[in-house]
Amino acid sequence: MDIKKRDFLVGGAMLGAGAAMSSEAAAQTGTVFPPPQQILLPVNGTSQRFPVRRIYCVGRNYLAHIREMGNDERELPFFFAKHRDMIVQHGGTCAYPGMTKDFQYEIELVVAMKSGGMNIPIERALDHVYGYAVGLDMTRRDQQSRMKSKQWPWEIGKSFEDSAPCGTIYPASAVGHLSKGRIQLAVNGKTQQDSDLDKMIWNVPEIIHHLSAQAELKAGDLIFTGTPEGVGPLKKGDKMLGRIDQLGELSISVV
């Protein structure tokens, strides 16, 4: 296990460099094999960690990106999911996945939830937000396009190993609630995506409101809020550097 990619807390008090619980320890927990490791993200300005529960992603939330992909500009927000163990942390490596010849980057604002519920009103949505981070929605674009052409679910294009890089969580108590600010991604030092959060079609409270109508949100949930225009392909050896105003950087290398 590449510990540069993930910061794991293993069972009770065991902080592991990829360590696994012994069969004896598993027996003590009453499980047939060691429980899955928790996924923990660093929190800026503190030694605490943010435990990840679920990952939701918003599709098509910047008008220019919708136009560059040739999609319907009037569509309501929709959501797909990734698994929490697909997270890669700042400074880590992202493996070029199989089953694709068109592996692409998408820089996104990530919302980290401290509480939740069902059918959250827009005016109360920000009460449930703990903080924000820089994220990347890695995509097998050819697989996504193939599934869309068949009107099949396109999870294969979005949900795979190392497909959810995420940086340090910045508490809203320190940076405020972000509705504007520069969002950009450079690949090998060349800027490829450069936009502003105020160009999101659906803002953070609206996203939380719509998502909570279909799933109960809870503490530990991450919401990737969509990408601006400029998405493009990657190859092995590429280095990505994502930035969002007030949220630091997310550096990921493709191997």
pLDDT in tens, the chain (255 residues): 454 444 444 344 444 444 444 677 677 778 888 888 999 999 999 999 999 999 999 987 887 656 666 666 556 778 999 999 999 999 999 999 999 999 999 999 999 999 999 999 999 999 999 999 999 999 999 999 999 899 999 899 999 999 999 999 999 999 999 999 999 999 999 999 999 999 998 999 999 999 999 999 999 999 999 999 999 999 999 999 999 999 999 999 999
Domain 42-254 has what CATH class? alpha beta
Q: Tell me how far the alpha carbon of residue 149 is from its chain's centroid.
A: 25
- Based on its alpha-carbon atoms, the radius of gyration of the chain, rounded to whole angstroms, reads 18
Q: Give the per-residue pLDDT at 22.
A: 62
CB atoms within 10 A of CB 152: 10
Q: Alpha-carbon distance 82 to 222, whole Å?
A: 10
Give me the pLDDT at residue 150, please: 92
Q: Domain segments of the chain: what residues?
A: 1-36, 42-254
Q: Contact, 7 vs 16, CB < 8 A? A: no
Q: Which amino acid is at 77?
A: P
pLDDT at 27: 72
Res 188: pLDDT: 98
pLDDT of residue 26: 73
For 91-128, b/e burial (b = at least 16 CB within 10 A) is ebebbebeebeebbbbbbbbbbbbebeeebeeeebbeb
